[in-house]
Amino acid sequence: MSTEEKQLYSVSIYTENNIGLLNRISAIFQRRHINIESLNTSPSEIEGVSKFTIVVNMNEVNIKKILGQIEKQVEVIKAYYHTDDETIYQESCMFKLQSDLLFEERQIQNIIKESNARIVTVNKEFFVIEKSKGATLVIEPASSVFIIPDSSAI
């Protein structure tokens, strides 16, 4: 290991969706005795392309070496790394509710406005509400809706 100071890095890897790739990527970290702090895989915006997000604690010299090894994998399209300082976090939640509640329960529309939530989509069967950090929007199954202020908003 280099004498350079360790820090958290988020590694984003765009790949083809193939069996065994997750095992090969994690083995690259395992061979170097690097603990993976967090691992997430999901489809990307492009059909047939997956995105791996891996968080590790190491130095920049070694993260560059590891990215070089990852990019040698045939299925890997591109890999990037970012420090926590370069990353923007935003907590968000989405609620999927029956559409009849939106039109029949006037209280729900008022609560959506008061809590600065936004309606993402509406169709005959359901509607989707997005709520970011701030007040918490709580919609109970029995169509009771509550706003719980976030402690930082008080």
Q: What percent of the chain has pLDDT over 70?
A: 84
Q: Are residue 74 and residue 136 in the same domain, yes or no?
A: no
Contact (Cβ atoms closer than 8 angstroms) between residue 34 and residue 67: no
Helical segments of 6-98, H only: 21-31, 60-71
2 domain-assigned: no
Domain boundary among 35, 57, 86: 86
Token pair belonging to 151: 């402690």
- Cα–Cα distance, 105 to 110 (Å, whole number): 9
78-135, pLDDT tens digit by residue? 999 999 888 777 778 888 888 887 777 777 778 788 888 888 888 888 888 888 875 5
Half-sphere exposure of 125 (CA within 13 A, CB side): 1
Count structural domains, the chain. 2
11 domain-assigned: yes
119-150, pLDDT tens digit by residue? 888 888 888 888 887 555 555 554 444 444 45
Q: Could you list the residue range(s) of the whole structural domain that residue 44 is in?
A: 7-86
1 domain-assigned: no
Dihedral sign for Cα atoms in the order 25, 28, 31, 33: negative
Q: Are residue 29 and residue 96 in the same domain, yes or no?
A: no
